[in-house]
Amino acid sequence: MCSEQVKTHPGRLPAGSSSPHYTRRLLPSPARLRRPLAIGLLLVLIAVIAAFLIRIEAGDAVVTVALGQPLGSTAMVVDSSTHRAFVATMTQPIAAPPVSRIVMLDTRTASVLKTIEVGTNLLPLALDERLDRLVVASSTVVNSGVVRLLDGRTGAIVRSAALQQPPISLAVNGRAARIYVAVGAWSTCSTTACNLQPTIVSVLDAHTLRLLHTETLSRSLGDLRVDEYRGRVFVPTSAGLVVLDAGGRVQRVLQGLAVLAIDQRTGHVMITTTDGIAMLDVDTGRLLWRRQELVSAATVDGKSGSVLVLPVATNTVEVLSSTTGAVLHTVAVGKLPVAIVVDSRAGRAYVANHDDHSISLLDTASWRVQRTVPVAPYPLSVSLDSAAHRVIVENTSISVQRQQGMQAWIPAALRQWLPLQPGASLGAISPEPTSSVSVVDVSRL
């Protein structure tokens, strides 16, 4: 006679059974509950620490300094020997003339060292690396101008010289110890009297600011450019591209509107024309090649000799042959690239993408984008401190967000599951934009 077998199921007691031992086996013991809970908390802690380290690794590679100038900055130069960046800014007080200042930053720490007031309307700056001097030209409220020399390490004003008219452009030849200042009508003027007004280029001694020579030219159409190695100064005028020698005297007048880039290996210059761009042999005045495309910026890779241009409305970088103008590579970057700089030693090029609020890092061996790095909104220009492995980006606007407490370091994916502590506000965006500079440590990218 066989006995009946009773089948049991998890969570159920057999009929008529009241065994306390059986009941205890259905509920996990406290020891068993503590183990998975501890493991879960440990995993969360590891994730938070990893996110903290990743944020330090990636986030600290970009430091943005708000300049507090609502009209934005107008020019920037970087001195790799002193690790200083100088940014020209301007504010417009109510019912008062504009005030221009130079903000001096340490490129290694991205800290503001000094702010120097230098006049009203400020021109693009120039740097004399041989003397460690910053050259600043600005206009005054009495329709004249002034040129100042600033110490490249301390920012102290070393010397000043008055100008009879407001300056419109500035350049430096450190090898010849010469400063070139153009005064006259702005290139954007449209009246007949303005168009007939000549441009006067003054040549100053870079040590003393003593006036050495003046040259009267047709109305200027753009900025002065200097080829230090060959002692040439290029002045775009309504009569053509004027070439001056190191002393400021006219050598020749060539076709072309303005100089985009200078090939230091050959002395050839890339110029803008009425319908595009061209490469000009300055010695013969002959155009080596020309392309019918508009570009917003150009530079030359000193190592390969290739010409890098940013064609308008294409969101690309074109790599051209310096001898033929043929397109060697086309590299897609961010939206509206506006500026480019090449570090030939490191084999990288950096492109500022205005509408993407980023810079693209290009490998000049493969001509591929290695990385895209977010910076502050609307970058306008990009400069290089190669000795400190820093890229300095001038931005026209930034919304500052302040975060307090440890909540700021917790990843957004985890933050939503954690209760906010009193006083641990996640921050507020400032209501007004402000100009800024982003310093990127490219050795960490």
Phi-psi label, residue 389: left if phi above 0, alpha if psi -120 to 50, beta otherwise: left
The per-residue pLDDT for 97 is 77
424-438 pLDDT, tens digit per residue, is 333 444 445 578 899
290-332 pLDDT, tens digit per residue, is 999 999 999 999 888 899 999 998 999 999 999 999 999 999 9
CB–CB of 107/84 below 8 Å? Answer: yes
CA torsion sign, 353 to 355 to 356 to 357? positive
Tell me, letter by letter, the H, E, C secondary structure of 166-230.
CEEEEEEECCCCEEEEEECCCCCCCCHHHHHCCEEEEEEECCCCCEEEEEEECCECCCCEEEHHH
CB–CB of 435/397 below 8 Å? Answer: yes
Domains of the chain: 294-401+431-445 (2.130.10.10)
Express the helix, strand and coil content of the chain in percent, nearest 5 each: 15, 45, 40
CA torsion sign, 322 to 323 to 325 to 328? negative
Which residues of the chain fall below pLDDT 50?
1-13, 17, 19-24, 51-58, 399-431
61-83 pLDDT, tens digit per residue, is 899 998 877 666 668 999 998 99
Q: What's the predicted TM-score (pTM) here?
A: 0.78
The per-residue pLDDT for 119 is 78
How far is the first Cα of the chain from the last one, in angstroms, to the nearest whole number?
82
CA torsion sign, 374 to 377 to 383 to 387? negative
Written as one string, the DSSP assignment of 28-76 is: --HHHHHHHHHHHHHHHHHHHHHHHHHHHHHHTTEEEEE---TT-EEEE
Name residue, tokens 């620490």. Answer: 49
